[in-house]
Structure 1
Amino acid sequence: MSGYLGSYATLGLLLLASALVFLGAFGANRLLRPASPADPPGKRAAYECGLDPVGTDWAQMQIRYYVYAYLYVLFAVEAVFLFPWAVVFDRPGFGLVTVAEMGIFVAVLAVGILYAWRRNILRWS
């Protein structure tokens, strides 16, 4: 198949084949699985480290845990960008411009951590 519409026909055939494989896999699963008897008592109960669950399933989460997670992701991404920079920095032709770019990047991150520190976001209690 060539031409403008040929690429769409190829894409359509690929989507059709993937849908058939998907439906075939789920159909085979339904036909080949063992019949499930009624669940034994307590099978679908919540499991808390081997202890019987206490209380209701509603629990409030404090926003500060999400802030810690966000800060962790932020600085983990920063580390991901620092390692390739260290590898490229050693190559010829990446002198002062590379140092200036990474200095700006680290300065922006330092401003962010300084802001978090000044607002007492980093205090656990």
Structure 2
Amino acid sequence: MVDLSQYLPIALFLGIAVVLSTAFVFLPMGVARLTGAHKPDAEKLSEYECGFPAFEDPRSKFDVKFYLVAISFLLFDLEASFLFPWAVSLEFTGVVGWSAMMIFLGILAIGLAYEWKMGALDWQ
């Protein structure tokens, strides 16, 4: 017969995780409803992420600068994720690792300068 008591800590962990995640999701919504903070108006219901109404004619023109800024953010976020392991392992990679990262950062700096010069970062 299989001894299932070895799985008790895992079951407890999963149970606590489910209870906490449910509380973190539903408790703030319940408190907002009870305290009156849940009062939607036109400003709260307006689009704020993509910059244009979501339910309009799909063939309408829209400004792509939001997407350019978002892509730039992702690019420099990835750069930061490459910089940390590089800085930690610089002792082992030496001059070759340092020069490779400087080439990488130089290419990113040229791209940022080009993006800036072309006006992709100007917000209107």
Bucket of the pairwise TM-score, normalised by the shorter protein:
0.5 to 0.7
Cα deviations across residues 14-53 of structure 1 (Å, max 9, x unaligned)?
xxxxxxxxxxxxxxxxxxxxxxxxxxxxxxxxxxx71267
Q: Distance in 1 between matches of 2:79 and 2:106?
A: 11
Summarize the Cα distance change of 1:85–1:115 in structure 2 as closer, same or farther, 3 Å threshold.
same
Counterparts of 1:1-125 in structure 2, within 5 Å, are 50-51=40-41, 57-58=55-56, 61-91=62-92, 94-125=93-124
TM-score by length of 1: 0.52
Q: Distance in 2 between matches of 1:119 and 1:110?
A: 14
Cα deviations across residues 42-69 of structure 1 (Å, max 9, x unaligned)?
xxxxxxx712679993176421111110
Higher relative contact order (CA 8 A, sep 6+): 2
Q: Structure 2 counterpart of 1:114, which letter?
A: A
Question: Which 5+ residue runs of structure 1 have no aligned equivalent?
Answer: 1-48
Shift of 1:74: 0.6
Pair member with larger Rg = 1
Superposition RMSD in Å = 2.6
Q: Structure 2 counterpart of 1:89, which letter?
A: L
Q: Distance in 2 between matches of 1:81 and 1:114?
A: 20
Question: Which 5+ residue runs of structure 2 have no aligned equivalent?
Answer: 1-38, 47-52
Shift of 1:90: 2.7
Summarize the Cα distance change of 1:101–1:124 in structure 2 as closer, same or farther, 3 Å threshold.
same
TM-score by length of 2: 0.53
